[in-house]
Amino acid sequence: MLGEYGLDREKIDDIYDTIIIGGGIVGAGVFREHSLHGLKSLLLDQADFNSQTSQGSSKMLHGGIRYLENMDFALVFEALKEKNLWLKLTPHVSKEVPFYLPIYKESKWPLPFLRIGLFLYDLLSLFKNSSHKVYNKKNTLKAIPGLKSDGLRGSGMYFDGIVDDSKLGLECIYDALNNPNCQALNYKKVIKLIKNNDHYEVTYQDVLSGEEEIKFSKSVIMATGPFTDQVMKKLNIPWDNLILPSKGTHLWLKKDALAIKDAMVLQTADMRIIFVIPQRNAILVGTTETPLDPNEEFLDIQPTEEEITYLLESVNEYFPTSNVGKDAILSSFSAVRPLVRAGTSSSKTSRTHKVLEPQENLFVIVGGKYTTFRRMAFDINKKLFKSLGIKHQKDITLRPLRTTSVVKDPFGQKITQANIQDVIDNEMVRTREDLISRRLSFPSTRHLNNDELSNMLDNVDLKSIPKSK
């Protein structure tokens, strides 16, 4: 597969069939498919893999029940198919759980409408979801202690998946690395992209050391999510802006902040949806939806006081006796959704994706949602493989992952010093945050579940793991 490209044969190790820019969940899915097809592929990310939008989700594998309202049946069908696939392939990082959606007198969706919607949701899953149920007021209050009773009509209960979002992306990358011709590099910022005849020159800089390198490739894939417009501009590639950036903020609450054991879907006064999901010995609450200036710097974006207050007020509206305050917050995080511009409202923008080729053998994927990443990778690779003259095996990514994480369930297994060293040696850790937040899946040090683990992490060799800049 490696063309001559008119280059010095001594640089053969620097020549790739394709280079992927962006190591989030979509880039990871693209990379894995390249590996399974036997390509020589290089994956680059300017930060750690899956450290931005792909770690800033609501930690769900889901069809998107709210998209039924917009008649996005094809999207919901595709997402439900993918959800059930990954629940089957990766039970160590994902599982199906019940979600309760309480209905009140003033709710956007009345109970009869909800019955139809939940049936349709199960139908679009081809009844592979566990079956939904509808409860009256009495049984709803019994299932959800502390829930506001005034105006309550009942609730619907359906099933969706929760997932360790960054870990799933990482494991797709680990799986791809079983092909010795595939390489993944984090903290490599692409600073120059030049097309020379039949190949691309890709120059990147290590953001921790400052060192620069050049690699060569027949083709390039841009999987940069909400950063796409900004990256294309910085690389001087002709491009019309497509991203409608929207910021989403989540809170991690202490597990005793609410007396609930199952996930919930809350309809806010401004007709938005907020998920409340017990997991990881905590409760995840989110998300907000704040439009952003397209020229704003999105990397490592942080929650605002206004967003935190909004989420706490929404929770307390449904659980008026709980008095959940800032002292119940373990940590918080924000990320930017990669919505494709189709108007001015992010809440009404479709989550479908687009594949574009702004210049020969430069492919760009935008939009989509976390759950459909495998399908997104399939669609862009279909175009790429055609340009490379490769037969696209459409079912190859249905195979189980060949390599999983050293630490699969940090809250359910005892982590040893040997485990930590194994992670450092084999999972491309470059900073303490990489280790704690993504390889061990603790959102912050406040989530560490025992003093022994805290002490072990304090003893990690900081020389081998430089602090993030």
Per-residue pLDDT of the chain (469 residues; tens, 9 = 90+): 444 445 554 456 789 999 999 999 999 999 999 999 999 999 999 999 999 999 999 999 999 888 888 888 999 999 999 999 999 999 999 999 999 999 999 888 889 999 999 999 999 999 999 999 999 999 999 999 999 999 999 999 999 999 999 999 999 999 999 999 999 999 999 999 999 988 999 999 999 999 999 999 999 999 999 999 999 999 999 999 999 999 999 999 999 999 999 999 999 888 889 999 999 999 999 999 999 988 888 888 899 999 999 999 999 999 999 999 999 999 999 999 888 876 444 444 556 889 999 999 999 999 999 999 999 999 999 999 999 999 999 999 999 999 999 998 888 888 999 999 999 999 999 999 999 999 999 998 899 877 888 888 888 875 656 544 3
Give dist(CA 419, CA 202) in Å, integer. Answer: 36
pLDDT given at position 411: 80
Task: Identify whether the C-beta of residue 50 lies closer than 8 Å to the C-beta of residue 73.
Answer: no
CATH fold, domain 95-161+245-340, is D-Amino Acid Oxidase; Chain A, domain 2 (3.30.9)
Using only C-alpha atoms, what is the Rg of the chain?
23
Which uninterrupted H or E stretch holds 221?
Answer: strand 212-222
Domain ranges of the chain: 9-53+166-243+349-398, 95-161+245-340, 409-469
pLDDT given at position 459: 80
pLDDT given at position 465: 60
Give dist(CA 44, CA 375) in Å, integer. Answer: 21
Tokens (6 digits) for 244:
């409608």
Give dist(CA 51, CA 71) in Å, integer. Answer: 32
* Number of other CB atoms surrounding residue 326 within 10 Å: 11
Give dist(CA 87, CA 105) in Å, integer. Answer: 35
Task: Identify whether the C-beta of residue 436 lies closer than 8 Å to the C-beta of residue 442.
Answer: yes
Give dist(CA 248, CA 443) in Å, integer. Answer: 16
| Amino acid, single-letter form, for residue 377 | A
Residue whose token pair is 């006081």: 305
Fold match flag (9-53+166-243+349-398 vs 95-161+245-340): no
Give dist(CA 238, CA 358) in Å, integer. Answer: 7
Cα–Cα–Cα angle for 383, 372, 72, nearest 5°?
A: 100
Cα–Cα–Cα angle for 334, 166, 361, nearest 5°?
A: 95
Sequence-ordered alpha helix ranges (H) in 95-193? 111-124, 137-143, 165-176
* Number of other CB atoms surrounding residue 149 within 10 Å: 12
CA quadruple 279, 133, 375, 355: dihedral positive or negative? Answer: negative
| Long-range CB contacts for residues 12-16, cutoff 8 Å, separation at least 24 | 14/214, 14/215, 14/216, 15/40, 15/199, 15/215, 15/216, 15/217, 16/40, 16/41, 16/42, 16/215, 16/216, 16/217, 16/218
Closest by CA to 356, choosing from 244, 245, 239, is 239
Tokens (6 digits) for 204:
């990147």
pTM of the model: 0.93
Question: 351 to each of 115, 221, 282, 346, 421, how far by Cα in Å?
Answer: 24, 20, 28, 10, 39
Tokens (6 digits) for 33:
């498919």
Sequence-ordered alpha helix ranges (H) in 199-268? 228-234
CATH class of 9-53+166-243+349-398: alpha beta
